[in-house]
Copies of this chain bind each other. A is one copy, B any other.
Amino acid sequence: MVRAGLTVERLTRAGAELADEVGFDQVTVSALARRFDVKVASLYSHLKSSQDLKTRIALFSLAELADRVAAALAGRAGRDALAAFADAYRDYAKEHPGRYAATRLRLDPETAAASAGVRHAQMTRAILRGYDLTEPDQTHAVRMLGSVFHGYVSLETSGSFSHTAVDLEESWSWIVDSLDTLLRTWTPGRTPS
């Protein structure tokens, strides 16, 4: 009886692929076992639980996405950086919908703190260094960028935008441009009137 050679890493990668194929919610220990042509119970030597599997896929995806964003950001600043960041994010979601969904998994605080999630926050702040924002405006802006990008990707993916004919690429650049304008024309301490 030849062994399958399972490892946590291989299982996590395969889980990520499975997520892309059938959706993150449909990722199941059973389905993963089937993919390795192995009995379900065998996976429990490597994974603590179904939740454990999902968490690992989330952490993997978070790190992968952070790497992509970092690469896209290299050598760019200002609006260029903003657009690169936005595109890296959106492209990842298009290319790997299941993994993207995985990055939205709610992690418990310690796990989150040790995850690539903190790199995401750092990179968002790095982009804002190209604009003239100080605290607490910078935090507000971080939250706004996160909201817009995640919201757009999430709504686009779920088909909420497909009821109108207007081009999705066009809306995307319109939004990115608008955000750039907004951040550039922001005056520190300003109260919008």
Contact = CB atoms under 8 A, between A and B. Distances in A.
B140 A171 contact: yes
Interface residues of A, number: 45
A148 B112 CA distance: 23
A44 interface: no
Contact of A151 (B137, B150, B159, B170): B150
Interface stretch (A8-16, A33-41, A65-73, A177-185): A177-185
B166 A140 contact: yes
A178 B183 CA distance: 9
Interface in A19-71: 25
Given A150-B151, A154-B150, A182-B182, A175 B143 contact: yes
In the complex this chain forms, how many copies of it are found? Answer: 2
What is the predominant secondary structure among interface residues of chain A facing chain B?
helix
A142 B165 CA distance: 13
Interface of A: 25, 104, 106, 112-113, 117, 121, 135-137, 139-140, 142-144, 146-152, 154-155, 158-161, 163-164, 166-167, 170-171, 174-175, 177-178, 180-182, 185-186, 191-192
Contacts of A135: 166
B137 A147 contact: no
A146 B161 CA distance: 10
Contact of A178 (B117, B144, B149, B174): B144
A147 B143 contact: no
Contacts of A181: 182, 192
